[in-house]
């Protein structure tokens, strides 16, 4: 039988090198997809946020590309229940979120800090960035972009 033509497009292995972000929350990484994994793929990162008081904070930053972040609660009785409290800043506006959510972050919009507090049960987290390769970060207190 011949090799399947698109088999490399289906990712079933955990990343060998887990992403780290200084000062970022502790996450149980599941998958990463980007140009290094599949040529031409944009960035997708998936992780679990474990129960606990406060797994950490993402600092304020911008990207030169659009981003979608998602936090999905795992209450089978109520999938809208985040099972935690998320505090997300978009520019200078603070949002307190207690429901499962997606947030669209247009390129150039300062976002974060993002804090997730009082996590009662695991939360599935992902971020999608329309960057090919590693996404660029411009930290609010820095002058040079960094990559994730």
pLDDT-derived band of residue 24, with 50, 70 and 90 as boundaries? low
| Among the ranges given (1-5, 28-32, 67-71, 74-78), the one the predictor scored with the smallest mean pLDDT | 1-5
Element (H, E) at 83: strand 81-90
Q: Given this model, what pLDDT does residue 18 score?
A: 54
* CATH class (in words) of the domain with range 23-134: mainly beta
48-83 confidence digits (pLDDT tens) = 998 887 767 778 999 999 999 999 999 999 999 999
Going by C-alpha positions, the residue among 116, 129, 50, 51 that lies closest to residue 99 is 116
pLDDT digits (tens, 9 = 90+) for 113-129: 999 999 999 999 999 99
Q: Dump pLDDT digits (tens) for 91-114.
A: 999 999 999 999 999 999 999 999
What does the pLDDT average to over 40-53? 89
The predicted structure's pLDDT at residue 93: 97
Query: Using CA atoms, how far apart are residues 40 and 37, in angstroms rounded to an integer?
Result: 9
Domain range annotation of the chain: 23-134
């Amino acid at each position: 039988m011949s090799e399947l033509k698109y088999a490399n497009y289906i990712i079933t292995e955990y990343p060998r090198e887990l992403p780290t972000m200084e000062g970022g929350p502790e996450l149980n990484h599941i998958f990463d997809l980007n140009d290094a994994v599949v040529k031409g793929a944009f960035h997708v990162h998936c992780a679990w946020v474990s129960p606990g008081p406060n797994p950490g904070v993402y600092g304020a930053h911008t990207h030169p590309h659009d981003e979608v972040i998602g936090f999905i609660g795992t209450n089978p009785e109520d999938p809208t229940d985040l099972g935690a409290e998320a505090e997300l800043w978009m520019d200078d506006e603070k949002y307190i979120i207690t429901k499962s959510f997606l947030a669209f972050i247009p390129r150039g919009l300062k976002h974060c800090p993002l804090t997730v507090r009082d996590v009662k049960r695991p939360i599935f987290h992902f971020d999608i960035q329309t960057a090919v390769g590693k996404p660029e970060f411009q930290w609010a207190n820095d002058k040079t972009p960094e990559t994730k």
